[in-house]
Chain A
Amino acid sequence: DGGITQSPKYLFRKEGQNVTLSCEQNLNHDAMYWYRQDPGQGLRLIYYSQIVNDFQKGDIAEGYSVSREKKESFPLTVTSAQKNPTAFYLCASYDRDHEKLFFGSGTQLSVL
């Protein structure tokens, strides 16, 4: 199934709560990315990591945090500072040999 696994598929957040979205890949890709997708809009880059123990802010990083302690894992935390978190979140990894971006199946986050 593409080698990138996102979990959970659906997630609900209460007011003031931090939640963490999981992204795991077994493709041996160095680079990983988090995108946010809102209805009727394109994908916007939240954070990216080109290599283990390093990550950079994307276009809409405010209210989010990430870590990259292992090559296979790039979890995204949606903090209480993100006031409008309802969206579809997509994780991706990059195959430099074939110059292709592979996406996970996504997590739909909603606010209770």
Chain B
Amino acid sequence: GENVEQHPSTLSVQEGDSAVIKCTYSDSASNYFPWYKQELGKRPQLIIDIRSNVGEKKDQRIAVTLNKTAKHFSLHITETQPEDSAVYFCAASLSANAGNMLTFGGGTRLMVKP
């Protein structure tokens, strides 16, 4: 089955700096890659996703890049703010149309210092 590795497990940045979180996956058939943000004690929320037919997607200060050949994808947050502090999870799936197919990475705890 699919295996998703996420790095780093913790990341501390100064407010205004950029943060990058990287994930690798094992199944070359995976074609859907969402990112979730989970604030302390709250539910994970989808912040951005990418499908295998594109290499990059942006939404304001957040971007995700995908390298299908190398089987890795990354989350980029620019101009970080204290409210970006949370745990971020990447995931990979064989299909966007099946939540049961999602395999999650281990999570990255991002701390943005004011």
Number of interface residues, chain B, beta carbon within 8 A: 22
Q: How far is A31 from B4 in the complex, measured between Cα atoms in Å?
A: 23
Number of interface residues, chain A, beta carbon within 8 A: 25
- The answer to whether A92 and B99 touch (CB under 8 A), given A40-B106, A40-B107, is yes
Say whether A101 contacts B4, CB under 8 Å: no
Instruction: Judge whether A48 is part of the interface by a CB distance below 8 angstroms.
Output: yes
Q: How far is A99 from B50 in the complex, measured between Cα atoms in Å?
A: 12
Say whether A103 contacts B99, CB under 8 Å: no
Question: Shortest Cβ distance from B24 into chain A, in angstroms?
Answer: 14
- The answer to whether A56 and B4 touch (CB under 8 A), given A42-B89, A43-B89, is no
Say whether A2 contacts B100, CB under 8 Å: no
Instruction: Judge whether A104 is part of the interface by a CB distance below 8 angstroms.
Output: yes
Q: How far is A92 from B99 in the complex, measured between Cα atoms in Å?
A: 9
Chain B residues near A42: list those with CB within 8 A. Answer: 4, 6, 89, 104-107
Instruction: Judge whether B97 is part of the interface by a CB distance below 8 angstroms.
Output: yes
Q: How far is A59 from B89 in the complex, measured between Cα atoms in Å?
A: 18
Q: How far is A96 from B99 in the complex, measured between Cα atoms in Å?
A: 9
Chain B residues near A101: list those with CB within 8 A. Answer: 34, 46, 99, 102
Question: Shortest Cβ distance from B38 into chain A, in angstroms?
Answer: 9
Chain B residues near A44: list those with CB within 8 A. Answer: 104
> What would 16 more interface pairs be, CB under 8 Å, given A33-B100, A44-B104?
A31-B99, A40-B107, A42-B105, A43-B44, A43-B89, A50-B100, A56-B100, A92-B99, A93-B99, A94-B98, A96-B97, A99-B32, A99-B97, A103-B43, A104-B43, A106-B41
